[in-house]
Structure 1
Amino acid sequence: VPDLPISFLQADTAEKLWESLDEQCVNTDKGCDVIVIPHNSNLSDSQMFLHTKDDGSPIDKAYAERIQRFERLVEVMQHKGSSECFFGPGAMEDELCDFEQLPYDKFSGKFSSFLRKKPEANDGFLRQVMNEGLQEQELTGVNPFKWGFIASTDTHLGAPGAVDERNFPGHGGAGEPATGAVPKGLPDDLEFNPGGLAVLWAEENSRESLFSAMRRREAYGTSGPRITVRFFGGWDMPDSLCSQSDLVETGYRQGVPMGSDLPRAGGTTEKPVFVVSALKDAGTAETRGMDLQRIQIIKGWLDSSGTGHQKVFEVAGDPDNGASVDINTCRTQGQGFSQLCSVWHDKEFDPGQSAWYYARVVENPTCRWSQQICAANNVDCAVPSSIKEGLEACCSDSHRPVIQERAWTSPIWYTPASSSP
C-alpha cells in the first residue's frame, strides 16, 4: 500500500487521484494494486462521472481505459440512499426505483435550503450513467463506466454488518444521532437507512481471491439481506438449467458470470440467454429470513440513433403474490418463495445494439427500520396522544413505512462485433 493515504488535499479530482495511485502504488516495486469504488453517486450532483478531463477536453480512448482500469466496481446502495435508478418526473416507469431515494442531490443540500435541489435522473444514478458509458464507447471504442455492483453501510460505528432493519443502531456515531436536529426517538435521520452488503464470488476466502473477484467484477450488492444470487449469460445454455444440479458449472462452462462481457454470438441461438438463481436469506435461529417475491432482469441499450433506453423484464416469481405487512405490528402476511430461478431469452435482442443486463431480486414487503421503532412504540398517526416526544417523524409526510429489500447483480455487457469490448 502507499506509505500515506492520498487525501483530497493532495488529489482534489478523480484524475489526480488516479495519477497519485499509479505513482505511489501501481508503478512501484511494492507489489501494490488498487481498485477505486465510486461512493454515493446519488449525492454527486452529476459531478462524479464526467465526460471531460480536468482540462475540459473530451474523454479519449486512453482516458476511458484508465477509468475502466481503476473503477471496477461502483456502490449501488448505502446508508445515504440508493444510486441504482431515479424515480420521479421524466423517469422510466419502474416503481421499484422509489426505494431509499434521498430528497436532495448533494449532501450539502441536507443542511442548506439555498443549496438544496431535488434529484434528477442525470445526477449520478447508475442506470443513466451506464447508458452514457455505451455512448462513450461509440465515440472512443472503450466504455469508461463499466462497473460491477456492490453495496455497503457507510457506517461510522466500525460495524459493517449492522444492516438489520429490525435492530438498526444508526450509523452517525455509537448509536447517537448524527446531528442535533434528529428526533430523540430515532437513532438516525429519517431519510437514511441501515445500508447494504457487498458480496463476492471468489475461489476462496483469501485476500488474493477476494481482490481478484473485485477486479473481474464478479460481485453483487444487497440492501441488507443475505440473499444468494447467481447470474450467467451466454448463447447456448439449456432451458432446463434451473432444474439441473450443475447450474453453476454449466453457467461458467457455457456462459459468463455477472460482471463479464458476453462472448461473440455463437452456438445454436442468435439471441443471448441468461440464467438467474436466487435463494432467500436463511435468517437465524431467532429471526427468520424474508421470502422472495420476484426476480427481474433490467436491460439498457442504445438504439440506431445512439439514444439510451432501459426496460424491466419480470422473469421469476410473482409481483402480485398478495404479500403484505401490517404497519401497526410489522407482522408480514402472505407467502413468497424460498428460491427462484429462471432461464430468460432476450427476444428483443438486436445484434447491432450495445447493451447491458443485470438482475434484481426483490423480497416481500416489510417494515422499514423507522416503522419498526414507530410500531414498537404504538404510534398511531390518527391518535395524536400516541405520538411520543421524539417520534414525530413517524407521521411525517416523507416517512415511508414499508420497503422491499433487494439484491442487485453486477451487469453483463454485450458489444456488437463492429465495436471494441
Structure 2
Amino acid sequence: MVVTRYLQGLTSCVRKPRVWLYTLLLGFCIQTVTAQTVGADRCNHYNPLRDVYWGDLHVHTSQSVDAYMSGTRVGVAEAYQFARGEKILLPGFGIETQLDRPLDFAAITDHASDSGAVNLCTTSGSPAFNTQDCKNFRAPIVADKADIKKYIKTLLEKTGGQLVSDDICGNDGSLCRQARKTVWENTQQMAAQFNNDSGSCDFTTFVAYEYTATPSWSKVHRNIIFKNASVLTEPIPYSVEPDVQILWQRLKDECIDAGTGCDVLSIPHNPNLSNGNMFTVSYPPGSSLQQQADLAELRAAMEPVLEMSQIKGDSECRNGMWNVLGGTDELCDWEKYRQAGTEDCEAGVSRGALMNEGCVSRLDYGRYALVEGLKEKQRLGVNPYKLGFIGSTDTHSGAPGAVEEWRSDLSGSKPNPRPGRTAGGLVAVWAEENTRSSIFDALRRREVYGTSGPRMRIRMFAGNTLEASLCEDPGAVSKAYQAGVPMGGTLDSTSLKNTSPQFLLMAQQDSGTSEHPGNLLQRAQIVKGWADSDGNIHQKVFDVAGGANTATVDVDDCQPEGPGHSQLCGTWQDPDFDSEQDAVYYARVVENPSCRSTGWLCASSQGQGRPNWCDAETTPFTTQERAWTSPIWYSGNAIEKQ
C-alpha cells in the first residue's frame, strides 16, 4: 500500500510540468512525495538522494584494558553523551569538555579480550576485586606516552601481556567469561538507550566491539559492527578465536545466516602497524583455487571498508616501496607512524611494529592493498580487498569525534611532537537517513569516505555521460546517480561500451564554527592504481580541480594565509584507459596548510609552561588535512564474482 501511494503521488507531482522542468523537479518530487507517503516510517529528514552523516566507529572507554590503565574513567554512557555534543566531566582530570559539533553516529568498540577481567577488577565487591593482581591493575601508570616502547613495556610489566590470571578469573576462567558477558550486555543496553531512530533521528549508535589481534606485537585489529539490536549472545574475541578466517565464518554462520535478523561487518584497523600481516594474501596449505576463491569471497563480504586514518597516523600510501612504480607522490609522506629508513618487508612479513620494530610492507597501506586485490581477482575471479575508506579516532579517552587539532583538553589526545600521532579521523557516510539500517547499508555498499578530522562534503561518481556542465547543474547528483555509479561502485566494459569512464568529483570545504572556521581547500585529485603482468603495482595521481598554491599558515598565531577554494568541482577522464585492464580509482581532497596540534600548543604557550620540543627543529608544526573517498573499480575482461 505504501509503495502504491508513493508511485501515485510521484506520478501526480511530475505530470504537469513542461519537459524542460522535469529533471529539475524530479528530485523535489521524490523528497516531497516520500515525506507524504512514508513519513510515518522514516526520519523527518529522509532524502532518497542521500545526505552526509558524520561518525566515529572506533572508540574505547574505561571498559578497555589499556584505556583504564592509561587513566580513562569515562564510561560508555558518558562517551555517547560526549558524541551527542553534551558536556562531560573527565574523572581524575577535573576537566569539563564537549564537542563543538555533535556527531551523527558512533560505536563504542571496547576490547573484547580482557573485558571480563577489567570488569572484575574495577567493580567493587566482585570476587576478584581485592586480589593482588587487580590491585596492581588499578595502580596508576607513570610513563611517557610519547615514548611508545617504554609505555608498552610498562603495560607489559603490569599485566604480562593480558589481564588474565587464576587469581582474577578462577582456575577454570569462568569468572572472566561471565564478566565478559556482563560487559557485552552493558554495551548493548547503552547503545539501545542512546539510539534515536524515530522522528528527528538525531543520533545513532551501533553495538560493536574490537577484535584485538596483536600477534607478536603486529597490529591486525578489527572493529566488529552489528547492524541492529540482533547481535551475538557474546562477542568472539581474539583470545577465543585467533584465526580471523574462522572469525569471519563464525560471524556469517552465527549472525548473518542464523535467521535472527542479525547482520555484521568487520572493519580492519588502520594497517600501518601490521608488518604486512593485515593484507598479505594467505590461504590454508593445500587449498584448491575454488577453496581460495570461497575464502576471498567471504573476506570481501565481511570487510567492505578499511580504516584509513586515526590517532596512530595515516595508512594511504608510502613512497619508495618495493615494486611500486609511478614515481613519488609528495602527499604520501604525510603523518607516517613508521619513520623514514625503516626496512622494507618486500614480499615478506615481520613482527613488532607496535614496538616500532620489524619491517614495513607496501601492504600496510590501503592504496597498495587495493591493487593486490586486483591481482587476486585476475587469479581467482574474486577481489578480496574491495575496500572502501573511512576514518575514525581510536580514542582511548572515551571521547568520540574529538579530532580538532586545536584541542588539548583530553587525556590521550594532547599534542605529540612525533609525526604519525594525529588527532584522529572521522567517517562520513552518504545515507538516506540517520538510522542504523541506512548507515550500515552505506558502509556495506562503500558509499563512504574518511577524513583526517575536518568535515568536507565530497561526492564522486563515474559513468560514460558525466559532462563538465554538471558542476553548474543544481540537479547534478540526481543525474549522476542515473548516469553512473557513486564511490564504492563498479564499472565494467559492458556498461561503458568500451569508452573511458568519466568521473565527476565535487568537494566543499568544512565550514567549521564561528570560533574555529574551517580551512580552504587546495586541490582535489584522483588516484589510479593497477597491476602489470609481472606483479608490479602502478600508481598515478591526477589533479582534477584546484592545485598546488602559495597558501601557508603563520605558526606564531595559527592563522592561515593565501589563496584557496571554498568549493572544488571537476570532471576527468583517464588519458591512459585500457578497456581490458582492471583498475581502481579513488579521490583525495586536500586542504591548505594549517596548524598541527603541536603548532596550536606552541603558539599559545609562553614562558615556564612552554614544552622544550617547541624549540626543536624536528618538531612538525603544520599539517595538511585531507579526505579519501571510497574507490570506484573498473573491471576489464576478467569475470568478477559478486
User: TM class, shorter-chain normalised?
Assistant: 0.7 to 0.9
Q: How far did 1:87 drift?
A: 3.2
Q: Structure 1 residues 218 and 416 mapped into 2: Cα distance closer, same or farther (>3 Å)?
A: same
Q: Which one is further off, 68-77 or 50-59?
A: 50-59
Alpha-carbon separation, structure 1, partners of 2:631 and 2:353: 31
Gaps of 5+ in 2: 1-230, 343-349
Q: Give the structure with the larger helix fraction.
A: 2
The answer as to whether partners of 2:275 and 2:351 remain within 8 angstroms in 1 is no
Aligned mate of 1:26, from 240, 256, 276: 256
Q: Which residue of 2 aligns with 1:222?
A: 451
- Residues 161-196 of structure 1: CA deviation (Å, up to 9, x unaligned): 100001144563xx6xxxxxxxxxx55573411111
Q: Which residue of 2 aligns with 1:40?
A: 270
Alpha-carbon separation, structure 1, partners of 2:530 and 2:315: 19
Is 2:504 the partner of 1:282? no
Q: Which residue of 2 aligns with 1:119?
A: 360
SS at match of 1:231: strand
SS at match of 1:22: helix
Q: Which residue of 2 aligns with 1:302?
A: 531
Q: Structure 1 residues 328 and 73 mapped into 2: Cα distance closer, same or farther (>3 Å)?
A: same
Q: How far did 1:390 drift?
A: 6.9
Which AA in structure 1 matches 2:242? D
Aligned mate of 2:632, from 409, 412, 415: 412
Alpha-carbon separation, structure 1, partners of 2:495 and 2:305: 29
Q: How far did 1:15 drift?
A: 0.8
Q: How far did 1:275 drift?
A: 0.3
Show structure 1 runs of 4+ deviating over 2 A: 53-59, 87-92, 103-111, 117-122, 168-172, 186-191, 263-269, 302-308, 392-399
Q: Which residue of 2 aligns with 1:206?
A: 435
Q: Which residue of 2 aligns with 1:178?
A: none
Q: Which residue of 2 aligns with 1:13?
A: 243
Q: Which residue of 1 aligns with 2:373?
A: 133
Alignment of 1:125-204 (within 5 A): 125-170=365-410, 172=412, 186=414, 188=416, 190-191=418-419, 192-204=421-433
Which AA in structure 1 matches 2:357? R
The answer as to whether partners of 1:200 and 1:220 remain within 8 angstroms in 2 is yes
Alpha-carbon separation, structure 1, partners of 2:314 and 2:632: 20
Q: Which residue of 1 aligns with 2:306?
A: 74
Is 2:614 the partner of 1:373? no
TM-score (norm: length of structure 2): 0.59
The answer as to whether partners of 1:198 and 1:221 remain within 8 angstroms in 2 is yes
Q: Which residue of 1 aligns with 2:574?
A: 346
- Residues 69-93 of structure 1: CA deviation (Å, up to 9, x unaligned): 1001100101101111113566641
Aligned mate of 2:621, from 392, 401, 411: 401
Alpha-carbon separation, structure 2, partners of 1:187 and 1:356: 36
Q: Which residue of 1 aligns with 2:334?
A: 99
Larger Rg: 2
Which AA in structure 1 matches 2:301? R
The answer as to whether partners of 1:168 and 1:194 remain within 8 angstroms in 2 is no
SS at match of 2:266: coil
Q: CA RMSD in A?
A: 2.3
Q: Structure 1 residues 345 and 193 mapped into 2: Cα distance closer, same or farther (>3 Å)?
A: same
Aligned mate of 2:541, from 297, 300, 312: 312
Q: How far did 1:39 drift?
A: 0.3
Q: How far did 1:396 drift?
A: 4.4
SS at match of 1:36: strand
Alpha-carbon separation, structure 1, partners of 2:565 and 2:265: 36
Q: Structure 1 residues 22 and 245 mapped into 2: Cα distance closer, same or farther (>3 Å)?
A: same
Alpha-carbon separation, structure 2, partners of 1:318 and 1:170: 35
Gaps of 5+ in 1: 176-185, 379-385
Q: How far did 1:402 drift?
A: 1.3
Q: How far did 1:153 drift?
A: 0.4
Q: Which one is further off, 70-79 or 326-335?
A: 326-335
SS at match of 1:35: strand
Q: Structure 1 residues 32 and 333 mapped into 2: Cα distance closer, same or farther (>3 Å)?
A: same
The answer as to whether partners of 2:463 and 2:496 remain within 8 angstroms in 1 is no
Which AA in structure 1 matches 2:366? L
Q: How far did 1:401 drift?
A: 1.4
Alignment of 1:265-280 (within 5 A): 265-266=494-495, 270-280=499-509
Which AA in structure 2 matches 1:328? D
TM-score (norm: length of structure 1): 0.88
SS at match of 1:37: strand
Q: Which residue of 2 aligns with 1:182?
A: none
Is 2:269 the partner of 1:49? no
Is 2:555 the partner of 1:327? yes
Aligned mate of 2:468, from 239, 260, 269: 239
Q: Structure 1 residues 417 and 54 mapped into 2: Cα distance closer, same or farther (>3 Å)?
A: closer
The answer as to whether partners of 2:418 and 2:620 remain within 8 angstroms in 1 is no
Which AA in structure 1 matches 2:626? R
Which AA in structure 2 matches 1:363? E
Which AA in structure 1 matches 2:234? L
Paired residues in the alignment total: 396
